[in-house]
């Protein structure tokens, strides 16, 4: 695959920045094999982050996540012999044997996921229909969209959600219903963007500015009250509307790389731009994904697999725990609490969930199944159907959150937003016209 000169220069810049960051951690201490396997994770993640047809998609974001959270972060944590949740009572050491097992599981998952994705993407491309559709918004539909946005904004303001206390990553039914309401304007933006693909024409529409202003208020980052993944997952989903096929895909990689390395922790309470940090520091609980995955693997070795009950609990996000008493809690929280930590609101990486659910069978089958599902969703990037296009944008935006986990909370958030799209698709009626394209 030929790489454009600008992309090549940016990718070389990312590699150089990576080397400088690794050197800033000091001289490696510990087993060389651990560092070698971490480097393999970094190489695989980088290669498949650069080797994607789409600029923004689920697969790319999963690999970018792995590059930072499974390569750079554990490198520093291992070099400095840091146990992130030790101060909260965690009584667990991470020996080299456990690190190597974790690294091999990550490597297997990354390879199976990416290779399977390549296969499924080619198959989806071969099956792609030559029939496309364009949608038209009537004057009444535009009024309905404006009313939805105004009502959503008023509900958020009156409820105190706009300036209220910091929202934790919760999978409770009440929180998910509020997430659905707040996401209505974003779904309306999806419709408008599909109805007016020409951006010059789009900006002339009054309804576009009504929707955009509403989104800007509800998802304003400096309020510092919204969960980071919902906030910035929404931003990424909006970028998908216009930049999923950008010519220079290295720019997005660079943006995400810098954002995750320098701003990820600062975004937790971003009420002032001065809170942003320009120092790379992965010795922070926000980068606990790798260590929680080791904890989850160790827990599974001791207590056994859960036969997929964590996955079923995640998919049943609308069923309250008061109704289903056997509904699982956050997988990472279960494991870390078992080893003494009183704090359980921690991450639980998707690859770790595979092992927790079915052991090595989950490690082998999970990435392939997920590759099939996510490749199908990624193939919807050019659709003009709200549910398909919206699902693609939402899952692409939330892919980093899904990768970091926990599966329970991330699926509750993500599927709740998809449900928001479904509601809007039933309320806002659009005209559909078939277009025949000659695809070579």
User: Roughly what angle, to the nearest 10 degrees, separates helices 386-404 and 173-195?
Assistant: 130
Is the separation of the CB atoms in 298 and 92 below 8 Å? Answer: yes
**CA-wise closest residue to 45 among 245, 253, 220:** 253
Is the separation of the CB atoms in 329 and 344 below 8 Å? Answer: yes
Q: Does an H or E element contain 242, and which? A: helix 228-243
Is the separation of the CB atoms in 34 and 78 below 8 Å? Answer: yes
Predicted local distance difference test score (pLDDT) of residue 434:
66
More confident call, 248 vs 64: 64
- Dihedral Cα 266, 270, 273, 279, nearest 10 deg: 0
> pLDDT tens, 405-414?
889 889 888 9
Predicted local distance difference test score (pLDDT) of residue 168:
44
> pLDDT tens, 316-356?
877 777 778 778 888 999 999 999 999 988 999 999 999 99
> pLDDT tens, 6-53?
889 999 999 999 999 999 998 888 899 999 999 999 999 999 999 888
Question: Considering the chain, what percentage of its residues have pLDDT values greater than 90?
Answer: 53
How many C-beta atoms lie closer than 10 Å to residue 47's C-beta? 13
Residue 76: pLDDT band with limits 50, 70, 90? very high
Predicted local distance difference test score (pLDDT) of residue 131:
55
Angle at 371 between CA 389 and CA 419, to 5 degrees: 35
Report helix, strand or coil for 386: helix
Residue 366: pLDDT band with limits 50, 70, 90? very high
The answer for residues whose C-beta is within 8 angstroms of residue 336's C-beta and 6 or more apart is 85, 90, 292, 295, 343, 344, 346
Helices (H) and strands (E) in the chain, counts: 18, 2
The tokens for 160 are 């105190």
pTM above 0.85, yes or no: yes
- On the CB side of 152, how many CA atoms lie within 13 Å of its CA? 30
Average pLDDT for 196-205: 87
More confident call, 73 vs 203: 73
- Statement: residue 273 has pLDDT above 70: no
């Amino acid at each position: 695959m030929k790489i454009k000169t600008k992309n090549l220069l940016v990718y070389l810049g990312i590699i150089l920045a990576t080397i400088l960051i690794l050197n800033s951690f000091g001289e490696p201490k510990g087993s060389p094999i651990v560092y070698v396997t971490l480097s393999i994770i970094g190489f695989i993640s980088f290669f498949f982050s650069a080797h994607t047809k789409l600029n923004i998609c689920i697969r790319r974001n999963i690999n970018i996540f792995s590059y930072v959270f499974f390569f750079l972060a554990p490198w520093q944590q291992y070099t400095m012999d840091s146990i992130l949740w030790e101060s909260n009572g965690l009584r667990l050491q991470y020996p080299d044997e456990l690190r190597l097992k974790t690294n091999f599981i990550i490597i297997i998952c990354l390879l199976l996921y990416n290779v399977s994705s390549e296969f499924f993407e080619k198959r989806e491309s071969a099956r792609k229909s030559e029939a496309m559709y364009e949608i038209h918004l009537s004057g009444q539909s535009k009024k309905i969209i404006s009313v939805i946005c105004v009502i959503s904004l008023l509900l958020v303001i009156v409820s105190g959600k706009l300036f209220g206390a910091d929202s934790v990553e919760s999978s409770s039914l009440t929180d998910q219903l509020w997430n659905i309401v707040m996401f209505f304007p974003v779904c309306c933006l999806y419709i408008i963007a599909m109805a007016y693909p020409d951006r010059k024409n789009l900006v002339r529409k009054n309804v576009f500015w009504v929707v955009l202003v509403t989104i800007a208020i509800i998802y304003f980052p400096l309020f510092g009250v919204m969960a980071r993944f919902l906030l910035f997952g929404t931003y990424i989903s909006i970028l998908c509307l216009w930049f999923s096929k950008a010519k220079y895909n290295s720019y997005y990689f660079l943006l995400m790389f810098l954002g995750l390395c320098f701003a990820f922790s600062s975004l937790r309470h971003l009420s002032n731009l001065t809170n942003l940090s320009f120092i790379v520091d992965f010795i922070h609980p926000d980068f606990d994904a790798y260590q929680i995955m080791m904890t989850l693997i160790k827990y599974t070795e001791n207590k056994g697999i859960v036969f997929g009950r964590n996955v079923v609990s995640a998919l049943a996000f609308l069923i309250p725990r008061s109704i289903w008493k056997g509904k699982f809690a956050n997988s990472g929280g279960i494991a870390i609490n078992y080893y003494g930590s009183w704090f359980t609101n921690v991450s639980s990486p998707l690859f770790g969930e595979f092992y927790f659910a079915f052991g090595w069978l989950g490690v082998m089958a999970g990435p392939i199944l997920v590759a099939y599902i996510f490749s199908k969703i990624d193939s919807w990037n050019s659709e003009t159907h709200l549910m398909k296009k919206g699902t693609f944008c939402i899952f692409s935006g939330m892919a980093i959150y899904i990768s970091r986990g926990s599966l329970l909370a991330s699926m509750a958030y993500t599927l709740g937003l998809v449900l928001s799209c479904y509601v809007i698709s039933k309320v806002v009626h659009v005209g559909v016209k078939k277009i025949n394209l000659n695809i070579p």
